[in-house]
Amino acid sequence: MAIQIGEAAPQFTLVSTELKEVSLADFKGQKVVLHFFPMAFTGVCTTQLCTMRDDFGFYEGINAQVLGISVDSPFTLAKFKEEQKYQFPLLSDFNKEASSAYGALYDEFFFGMKGVSKRAAFVIDEDQQVVYAEVLEDANNLPNFEAIKEKLK
């Protein structure tokens, strides 16, 4: 089911690359940008998160929390984060609960893989309402980074 703008953001608790639980509720009172991505170490996913990394000063400057989410294990995500020098948390949705709740889960992905996060971006306001939602069916496409920034201003 697609998330609609104006809805309460689905709550989640996921494991970070530091093996700590991180909940969306931890960021109440702060803007949050969620970036779902299919798989660590793949070309378009790296581009997606590197774009956020390279623009991190903008997000930090407006006190917006960026979170990257995929179904990869926290151990895989930790290596990915280290190699790419991401300044924001990467969270493991290994059990696919957050991806499902946000309507960002492929039933079937490339090579017959099932249950992989779709590329998606959401902006959540300080009251934890969804103010921007973009779920991409084609994993080769990137989110609209400029539209995301506009919603945060």
Measure the CA–CA gap between 100 and 116, rounded to whole angstroms.
10
| Cα–Cα dist 37/89, whole Å | 13
Task: Judge residue 24's burial from the number of C-beta atoms within 10 Å of its C-beta, 0-12 exposed, 13-18 middle, 19 or more buried.
Answer: buried
Q: Catalytic amino acids?
A: 45
* DSSP H/E element including 56: helix 56-61
Cβ atoms 62, 55 nearer than 8 A: no
Report d(CA 99, CA 144) in Å as an integer: 19
Number of residues that make up the chain: 153
Contact by Cβ (8 Å): 90, 68: yes
